[in-house]
Amino acid sequence: MKEEILVNAEVLSHSYMPEKLLYRESELAQLKHNLQNFINTFITGPCGSGKTTLAKKALQCLNNSKKILACYIDCAVYQTTYSILKEIVPRSEFIFYRSNYELVKELMKQVKERKFVVCLDNFESMKDYSLITKFLSMGICIILISDAEENFSLLTENIRSNIPSIIRLTPYSSEQAFEILKDRVEKALAKWSCTDAILKRIADTVKGNIALAINALKVAALNAESKGKRAIEEADLPEIEDCPAKLSIDEKILLKILQEWKSLPARRLYDFYLQSARHPKSERSFRNYMESLCSKGLVKAIGEKRGRVYEIVEVEGNAVSKG
């Protein structure tokens, strides 16, 4: 009988929202204060420093109120003005809007009825920054997120002057990464299946990138599980790249499709990808993307070659879902 190590995959998914944000308490308090007072905010920090989780946690608190609609948009996936507006305007998935003008007009009606907070993650991927100006003119509260602080200078002086608060996140220390991993292990893995030595090895290797650390733990658990082991061994640890949690646009599109369908044959997944991507790549590139997603522990490949089926690992949501 196959041993089960990963008993709750959701806890190790990118979409998982912990009850407490360890070592980001002061930044969360600052962001909550900003949003309660409608202060526009720029969040920056290196890959894996907790920017997206910080923003989603703050937005989660706002969404408990019917008076405020909080929206999270990953601009690495939704780059055009039309696609961003479609994600923000309520019930837009049920109505066909022919133009940006119609969507903006509908959004202007909505903001008169309740307040909006919009978080634009990877904002530098947007095709047109003037949309931010439009949001500001409507009185929408803005959160912008970017790995590089210098991307703030891509914005006009007018936009920058309307974003007075900057929250800078630093990498987690090895000790902090270890404690966060230990907290996740208690909820995600079978008892006695992972030692402190394994966690320390991961924490020391990732250089403060907690997204990378959690991903490495998940891949190690899946590796050990596939070999019928009862516990993770050092040989199960993956090679840790610089920032594998940072997915390409095409990888995010493929992951989003699998989030909706849970499991798809390779051929059908590629067909959906051709329909969804603005600039779809070849089948060879598609296979490379899927191999990359499998290596990162986000997707499982079942079967060989033509009969292969891809299945998402996350229980609910994924790296590209809205907050």
Instruction: Give, in degrees to the nearest 5, the angle at Cα 32 between 19 and 82.
Output: 95
Count the Cβ atoms, other than its own, within 10 Å of residue 198. 22
Residue 262 has pLDDT above 80, yes or no: yes
Q: What is the CA radius of gyration of the chain?
A: 20
The distance of Cα 189 from the centroid of its chain, to the nearest Å, equals 22
**HSE of 268 in the Cβ direction (CA atoms, 13 Å)?**
12
Average pLDDT of every residue of the chain? 89
| Residue 138: per-residue pLDDT | 97
| Mean pLDDT of the region 225-246 | 81
Give the percent of the chain with pLDDT over 90.
65
Tokens of 282: 């070849």
How far CA 64 is from CA of 38, 53, 69, 111, in Å, comes to: 16, 17, 9, 18
Range 87-90, long-range pairs (CB < 8 A, 24+ positions): 87/322, 88/116, 88/118
Residue 63 has pLDDT above 80, yes or no: no
| Residue 2: per-residue pLDDT | 62
* Confidence class for position 321, pLDDT limits 50, 70, 90: very low
Residue 126 has pLDDT above 50, yes or no: yes
Domains of the chain and any CATH numbers? 25-168 (3.40.50.300), 173-236 (1.10.8.60), 249-312 (1.10.10.10)
| Residue 243: per-residue pLDDT | 52
d(CA 180, CA 159): 36
* Confidence class for position 238, pLDDT limits 50, 70, 90: confident
